[in-house]
Amino acid sequence: MKDSKNSLILITESQPEYELLDTGDGKKLERFGSFLVSRPDPQALWQPALADSEWKKIDASFEVGDGRTGSWKKKTDMPEKWNIDYSGLKLVIKPTPFKHMGLFPEQEVQWMWMKEQIEKRIDDQVFGEDKKIEVLNLFGYTGGATISCAMSGANVTHVDASKAAIAWAKENAVLSGLGVKKEGGKENNKTDSIRWMLDDALEFVQKEVRRGKKYDAILMDPPAFGRSPTGKTWKIEKQLPELLDLCFKLLSDNPVFFLVNGYAAGYSPLAYENIILPLKDSLGGKIESGELSIKDRSARLLSCGIFARWSK
């Protein structure tokens, strides 16, 4: 972690089953398990450090299409999906038409931070033996953060508007050792310590406020644009302030943390920091903001998003 005066740069290092090999020419060269892939990345403005022959060893590359999607050009018999171990989690890797693989490696530093906050609160025994920390994860996608929090000892409510994403997250949870609960021989919407909710994030939070529900920690990774299962449009510049105001109402009297991640939304970390300042004003604690990055083999840092987070 680097401290650049007013902001932090959080750095994800290589792990045995994930590595950022090289960056440059608007692309990144990565290894997921034993497979090498090349994906576009507009942040990589510089020249690659590795020879072109190394980049040619890839199993597949992502080709940008006309719209928000593209296609994968396979060069070997790389499977449609495979599993890796990453930061103590077992995850399904699956190349998608949206360029993503189901794993956002730069979030691993946030998983570790949340784990530290949860375990510290558990050790402090603030809640007593009979009450678990309740975490709300909005825009939860394939569940890395959800599973990490659950494995750290918290109950997690995972919300996503995509049925396919929730199915993928459930698969990851089961692979990581969190069994799916069944009632009457049928699966329900619960896994050990996780409640899965197929819903629009804003609509779900509105309902939870009306119900008087409280959470001890909230995290989110809102997209710049999206659509709910009912066809409602999400635009971050319009809906995020409203969503955050409602989320503040969902926090318990003694919350653990509040985390907002951002990707491709065009904002600076200071914008996210400013929007969660009411938490510090009302609850004390501290706010940190900055960039998320991954280090490649030549020790260059690839910027992968922004964040702001509050903790006691």
Q: Report percent pLDDT > 70 for the chain.
A: 90
- Confidence (pTM): 0.92
Q: Is the pLDDT of residue 130 over 80?
A: no
pLDDT at 263: 85
pLDDT at 175 over 80: yes
Residue 220 pLDDT class (50, 70, 90 cuts): very high
Q: Please tell me whether residue 285 adopts helix, strand or coil conformation.
A: coil
Q: How many Å apart are CA 155 and CA 158, to the nearest integer? A: 10
Give residues with Cβ within 8 angstroms of 165, minimum separation 6. Answer: 140, 141, 142
pLDDT at 3 over 50: no
125 burial (CB, 10 Å; 0-12 / 13-18 / 19+) is exposed
* Burial call 46-63: b when 16+ CB within 10 Å, e when fewer: eebbbeeeebeebbbbbe
What gap in Å lies between CA 304 and CA 66, rounded to an integer? Answer: 23
Q: In the structure encoding, which two tokens stand for residue 242, read together? A: 């409203």
Asked if pLDDT for residue 146 goes beyond 80, the answer is yes
- Residues 78-87: what's their mean pLDDT? 98
Asked if the model's pLDDT at residue 106 lies above 70, the reply is yes
Distance CA 164, CA 230 (A): 15
pLDDT tier at 211 (50, 70, 90 boundaries)?
very high
What CATH number is given for 2-311 in this structure?
A: 3.40.50.150
- For 30, counting Cβ atoms within 10 Å of its Cβ (0-12 exposed, 13-18 middle, 19+ buried), the class is buried
